[in-house]
């Protein structure tokens, strides 16, 4: 499908640096949506500087390696490939948990193995957990594994984890509220033991 030519005096006249400044302040989904609006926006949204910032924000530990790899492929392609790697790694954990469920119950060893497998995944970040584990399509157990991993391994502060609740249904809100309360109690017990 061919894009219609931009009317004179509109997007075609927008200075490139302004278009890049706008695109570089957006999140991934917004950059992709904006890139579909016109040729001018597509050029701005496909720029390496936009995808380099997105990559650095999402996977800061992998940014140095990405700089070398980006010479071969563009930053956008690098971002997409890293996103796919995270999807495969996290999907393997989700499949393991799904195959280990026994009538809705999960043995503690399987729960801990799932968290350990996530911890062994290089460069996984909170955005990956939010995107791939905090989904309405997953069970509450998967959501709790993501929550536990975020707090224990990624050291995401408790107030930030509370922001994920609106993306779940009512039942999951109750489960997550109880889980957050439980994790808070564990942390307070741990800190009180350390203080003694």
Contact 134, 167 (CB under 8 A): yes
Please give the average per-residue pLDDT across 45-68, as a whole number. 86
Whole-angstrom distance, CA of residue 43 vs CA of residue 36: 10
SS3 105: strand
In the chain, alpha helices (H) = 16-23, 28-35, 39-45, 48-58, 63-69, 75-100, 108-120, 126-132, 140-152, 158-161, 170-195
Please report, for the chain, the start and end positions of each structural domain, with discontinuous segments joined by +: 81-195
Q: What is the pLDDT of residues 98-123, one digit of tens each?
A: 999 877 788 989 999 999 999 999 89
Q: How many residues does the chain have?
A: 196
Q: What is the pLDDT of residues 73-102, one digit of tens each?
A: 789 999 999 999 999 999 999 999 999 987
Please give the average per-residue pLDDT across 129-155, as a whole number. 89
Whole-angstrom distance, CA of residue 167 vs CA of residue 100: 25
Range with the poorest average pLDDT among 10-14, 62-66, 85-89, 96-100 = 10-14
Identify the burial level of 127 via C-beta atoms within 10 angstroms of its C-beta, where 0-12 means exposed, 13-18 middle and 19 or more buried: middle
Contact 45, 73 (CB under 8 A): no
Whole-angstrom distance, CA of residue 100 vs CA of residue 93: 11
Q: What is the pLDDT of residues 147-177, one digit of tens each?
A: 899 999 999 887 776 666 544 443 455 555 5
Task: Say how many CA atoms lie within 13 Å of 44 toward its Cβ.
Answer: 26
Whole-angstrom distance, CA of residue 118 vs CA of residue 137: 19
Q: Residue 30: which pLDDT band, with cuts at 50, 70 and 90? A: very high
Q: What is the pLDDT of residue 135?
A: 82
Q: What is the pLDDT of residue 93?
A: 96
Please give the average per-residue pLDDT across 8-20, as a whole number. 75
Q: Average per-residue pLDDT in the chain?
A: 80
Q: Residue 65: which pLDDT band, with cuts at 50, 70 and 90? A: confident
Q: What is the pLDDT of residue 166?
A: 42
């Amino acid at each position: 499908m061919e894009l219609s030519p931009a009317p004179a005096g509109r997007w075609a006249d927008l200075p490139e640096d302004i278009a890049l400044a706008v695109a570089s302040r957006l999140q991934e989904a917004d950059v992709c949506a904006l890139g579909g609006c016109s040729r001018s926006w597509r050029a701005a949204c496909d720029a390496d500087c936009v995808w380099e910032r997105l990559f650095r924000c999402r996977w800061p530990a992998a940014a140095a390696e990405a700089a070398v790899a980006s010479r071969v492929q563009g930053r956008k392609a690098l971002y997409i490939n890293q996103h796919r790697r995270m999807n495969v790694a996290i999907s393997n954990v989700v499949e393991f948990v799904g195959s280990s469920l026994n009538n809705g119950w999960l043995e503690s060893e399987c729960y801990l193995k799932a968290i350990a497998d996530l911890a062994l995944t290089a460069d996984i970040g909170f955005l990956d957990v939010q995107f791939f584990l905090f989904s309405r399509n997953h069970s509450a157990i998967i959501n709790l594994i993501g929550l536990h991993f975020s707090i224990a391994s990624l050291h995401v502060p408790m107030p930030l984890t509370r922001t994920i609740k609106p993306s779940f249904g009512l039942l999951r809100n109750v489960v997550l509220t109880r889980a957050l309360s439980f994790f808070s109690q564990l942390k307070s017990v741990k800190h009180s033991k350390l203080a003694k």
